[in-house]
C-alpha cells in the first residue's frame, strides 16, 4: 500500500528518511534575535547625548554625528563595543572642542567598559524553541562582529550546544552568505536565515538565494534599517522567535 515502508525498511527507518528529506538548515542571528543587544547600546547613547548636550547642539544633531562617525569607524575598525566606544569619544571631541573635559571622556570610557561586561539577556522563548528545532533541523549560529567579543557572548549565553556550527564574520553581505552556503553544503531551497536585521540578515540572504525568516525587533539598530526585499525566495515574517516552532 502507498505510504508503507518497502521490503527491508522498518517503519522507524522510513520515518528517519522522511525527516532527513524535510530537514532544513537554519542560519540564526544572535544579537537581538537570540538575546537583547541594541537596547543596552541605546541606553549608553542616550546618556552620551545628555552628556554632550551642554555643548550647545540639539539631541538629534548629536545622534546624527554619532551615526556618521560609526559608519566611518565600522569601515575601518569593524563592529563591536570597542569600535562603538571609539565613535563616542571621537564624536564628543568633535562637538565639544575646547569645552571637552577629561572627566567626560573617562565617564564615556567607563560606560563602554560596563557595556562590554553586560551579560546576554536571552529573549523569551529562545531556549525551548532552539531545543525543539535542533531535534529536527541543522542549526548554525551566524553572527557578525569582533570575533573574540561575539564568541564571549555566545559562551556566556549558554546556547552554543544547540548549534552544529558557530560562524562569526566581519560583515554579512551576499558574498559572505554564498561562502557559507558552499562551506556547509547548504541546499538553498532548504536554507533559511533567521534574524531581525533587514540589512544584514534578510536582504543579503535573499540576494544569495536563501529563504529568510524576519523577526522584527523594536530596538533594531538604526544602521541596520532598510526596506525588506523578498525576490524569488520565501520570506516569512514572525512576531516572536517562539513562532518558529509552527513553521519548522
What the block records as the C-alpha cell of 106 is: 573617562
Terminal Cα distance for the chain, rounded: 28
pLDDT in tens, 197-214: 999 999 999 999 999 999
| Residues 216, 213: Cα–Cα separation, whole Å | 10
Average pLDDT of the chain to the nearest whole number: 91
Taken in order of first residue, the domains within the chain and their CATH numbers are 11-36+120-246 (3.40.50.1000), 39-117 (1.10.150.240)
What pLDDT is stored for residue 231 in this prediction? 76
pLDDT at 85 exceeding the cut of 70:
yes
Residue 11 has pLDDT above 90, yes or no: no
Range of weakest confidence among 77-86, 154-163, 227-236: 227-236
pLDDT in tens, 113-151: 999 988 889 999 999 999 999 999 999 999 999 999 999
User: Which residue, 73, 84, 8, 71, is CA-closest to 40?
Assistant: 84
* pLDDT higher than threshold 80 for residue 15: no
Order the strands of the 165-169 sheet from edge to edge. 165-169, 138-144, 25-28, 191-195, 211-214, 235-237
Q: Mean pLDDT across the stretch 10-28?
A: 65
Helix (H, G, I), strand (E, B) or coil at 9: coil
% of the chain beyond a pLDDT of 70: 91
pLDDT at 229: 86
Residues 156-200: pLDDT tens digits? 999 999 999 999 999 999 999 999 999 999 999 999 999 999 999
**241 pLDDT band (50/70/90 cuts)?**
very high
What pLDDT does 6 receive?
45
pLDDT at 8 over 70: no
pLDDT of 10: 58
Amino acid at each position: 500500500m502507498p505510504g508503507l515502508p518497502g521490503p527491508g525498511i522498518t517503519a522507524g527507518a522510513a520515518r528517519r528518511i522522511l525527516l532527513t528529506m524535510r530537514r532544513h538548515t537554519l542560519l540564526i542571528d544572535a544579537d537581538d534575535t537570540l538575546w537583547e543587544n541594541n537596547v543596552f547600546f541605546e541606553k549608553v547613547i542616550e546618556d552620551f547625548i545628555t552628556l554632550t548636550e551642554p555643548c550647545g547642539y540639539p539631541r538629534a544633531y548629536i545622534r546624527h554625528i554619532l551615526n556618521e562617525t560609526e559608519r566611518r569607524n565600522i569601515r575601518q575598525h569593524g563592529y563591536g563595543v570597542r569600535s562603538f566606544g571609539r565613535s563616542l569619544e571621537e564624536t564628543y571631541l568633535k562637538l565639544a572642542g575646547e569645552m571637552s573635559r577629561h572627566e567626560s571622556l573617562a565617564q564615556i570610557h567607563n560606560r563602554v567598559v560596563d557595556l562590554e561586561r553586560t551579560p546576554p539577556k536571552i529573549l523569551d522563548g529562545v531556549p525551548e524553541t532552539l531545543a525543539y528545532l535542533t531535534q529536527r533541523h541543522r542549526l548554525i549560529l551566524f553572527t557578525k562582529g569582533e570575533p573574540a567579543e561575539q564568541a564571549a557572548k555566545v559562551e556566556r549565553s549558554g546556547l552554543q550546544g544547540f548549534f552544529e556550527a558557530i560562524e562569526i564574520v566581519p560583515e554579512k553581505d551576499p558574498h559572505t552568505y554564498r561562502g557559507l552556503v558552499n562551506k556547509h553544503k547548504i541546499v538553498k531551497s532548504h536554507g533559511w536565515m533567521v534574524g531581525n536585521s533587514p540589512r544584514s540578515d534578510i536582504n543579503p540572504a535573499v540576494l544569495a538565494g536563501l529563504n529568510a525568516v524576519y523577526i522584527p525587533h523594536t530596538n533594531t539598530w538604526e544602521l541596520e534599517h532598510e526596506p525588506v526585499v523578498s525576490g524569488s525566495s520565501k520570506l516569512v515574517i514572525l512576531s516572536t522567535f517562539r513562532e518558529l516552532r509552527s513553521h519548522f
